[in-house]
Amino acid sequence: MTTKDDRLEFESHKREMALALGKDEEAFQHALNTLVALDKYDYAYLWSWMGVPIIQMPADIMATQEVIWNTRPDVIIETGVARGGSMIFMASLLKVIGKGKVIGVDIDIRAHNRDSIEKHPLSPSITLIEGPSTTAGTLAKVKAEIPADASVMVVLDSDHSRDHVLDELRCYGPLVTEGQYIVVADTLLGRGDMSQTPTKRSKIWYPGDEPYAALNAYLEETDRFETDEVLNGKLVLSSSPGGYLKCVRQ
Ligand SMILES: C[S@@+](CC[C@H](N)C(=O)[O-])C[C@H]1O[C@@H](n2cnc3c(N)ncnc32)[C@H](O)[C@@H]1O
């Protein structure tokens, strides 16, 4: 039995492999083809977290878990609540960490979804705000929920059109505090060709009119965010490759 403490070595190997995977375009294309094939089965819709449907790829749930555990935000803002699973997931991590709350914004919080969220044991860590994510009124309500000096993380997962996501980045990017992350969901929509665009959605977002295009435009406007190459490198079976950015200056 070995007694060697190999934890640093193990982490270093993980980092090296993730960076290498991030540069492997062939592996990325294989994974993209797999995800396109899985979309036929609504793969992102098949999961739940603690009993509540979460519309995410398992890889993104893992990645978000790594971010939250490492950065321990006081507040997480999510635009796009849907059935609430993602909020419950993030609230469950904050509960174990022992602090913090999740603020969810959605243009349409349906009564049955509100019911599932409000009856969940984690509901005390959750605040729901109904309204379009980028209006002044909604933003004022969100800001009023953030305590002074709180560390703030943001997840953007609402309307995925380029202009809306860019608007959200301009509204919510400034709320993210140094050391915390902004996650731009569904950047995968900008990584394939037109024929790979998911069509089983309430709206269809083709390459160019999607979150990746918005993110790239936003990164031209600000130097506050940097792509986390290690985390994004391993996000091949993800809806949001390249969508995890760290705030590097206040
Ligand atoms: C992809 S779902 C969110 C999934 C959720 N984050 C999860 O992981 O389970 C998108 C949601 O965005 C909401 N939405 C669409 N346009 C919006 C807008 N302009 N402002 C706020 N929410 C919006 C929709 O009502 C829908 O519930």
Closest Cα partner for 234 from 29, 13, 63?
63
Q: Which mutation among 157, 160, 183 tests ligand 1's pocket best, with the greatest number of atoms within 8 A of CB? A: 157
Domain residue ranges in the chain: 7-247
Residue 200 clears pLDDT 90, i.e. is over it: no
Look at residue 168 in the predicted model and tell me its pLDDT. Answer: 98
**Separation CA 125–CA 35 (nearest Å):** 33
What is the number of the ligand 1 atom nearest to the C-alpha of 158? 12
pTM of the model: 0.97
Q: How confident is the model at residue 245 (pLDDT cuts 50, 70, 90)?
A: very high
Please list every protein residue whose CB sits less than 6 Å from any atom of ligand 1.
Answer: 54-56, 78-83, 85-86, 105-108, 132-133, 157-159, 164
pLDDT band (50, 70, 90) for residue 226:
very high
Q: Ligand 1 centre and the CA of 81: distance in Å?
A: 5
Three-state secondary structure call for residue 156: strand
Of the pLDDT bands very low, low, confident and very high (cuts 50, 70, 90), residue 33 is: very high
Question: Angle, nearest 10°, between helix axes 58-71 and 85-97?
Answer: 30
Q: How high does pLDDT run on average in the chain?
A: 97
Ligand 1 atom closest to the Cα of residue 83 is 9
Residue 164: band (very low, low, confident or very high) from pLDDT cuts 50, 70, 90: very high
Q: Please give the pLDDT value at position 78.
A: 98
Residue 1's pLDDT is what? 74
Q: What is the pLDDT of residue 64?
A: 98
Distance 82 CA to ligand 1 centre (A): 5
The atom of ligand 1 lying closest to the CA of 55 is: 9
With 90 as the cut, is the pLDDT of residue 59 above it? yes
> Pick the residue with more confidence: 26 or 193?
26
Considering the domain 7-247 in this protein, what is its CATH number? Answer: 3.40.50.150
192 CA from centroid of ligand 1 (Å): 22
**Nearest-angstrom CA–CA distance, 221 and 178:** 17
Task: Return the residue whose CA atom lies nearest to atom 18 of ligand 1.
Answer: 132
The whole-number pLDDT of residue 248 equals: 98
**If pLDDT is split at 50, 70 and 90, which confidence band does 179 have?**
very high
Residues written for the chain? 250
Q: Measured in angstroms, how far is the CA atom of residue 248 from the centroid of ligand 1?
A: 27
Q: How many CA atoms lie within 13 A of 114 on its CB side?
A: 11
